[in-house]
Amino acid sequence: MDRVALRGLKARGHHGVFPREREEGQTFIVDLVLGLDTRPAAADDDLAKTVHYGVVAEEVVDVVQGEPVDLIETLAERIAEQCLKHQGVKEVEVCVHKPDAPITVPFDDVTITITRSRV
């Protein structure tokens, strides 16, 4: 299986369990790795035979900016579901970063990484 990666998609969302997170929102960063067979697209040089990563990026941002959830695990699941709606995408790895998580000690980042497939 071939891989198409999108790294560092940024969007503001209102996800989290604390009222401040829901009210003020924060930046979430998403990394994606889409698993698909790119041979048909490459053979015919045809965008219609692969995944349009620009469209996927816009859809992921819409999910992050959309309905708030408590957990980044739920957010990652919603993003994976959206990516798998694309016919050619057989598998997706989603990593959601929450660099401004409400943690009381110094830290660089909090992430959840999930892998989902059609199988």
Mean pLDDT of 89-111: 97
Mean pLDDT of 66-84: 98
What is the model's pLDDT at position 19?
96
Q: Strand, helix or coil at 7?
A: strand
**Is 98 among the residues known to form the active site?**
yes
Q: How confident is the model at residue 56 (pLDDT cuts 50, 70, 90)?
A: very high
Q: Is the pLDDT of residue 47 over 90?
A: yes
pTM above 0.85, yes or no: yes
What is the model's pLDDT at position 118?
87
Radius of gyration for the alpha carbons in the chain, expressed in angstroms and rounded: 15
CB environment 10-24: b (16+ within 10 A), e (fewer)? ebebbbbeeeebeee
Dihedral angle at the C-alpha atoms of 32, 33, 37, 42, nearest 10 degrees? Answer: 80
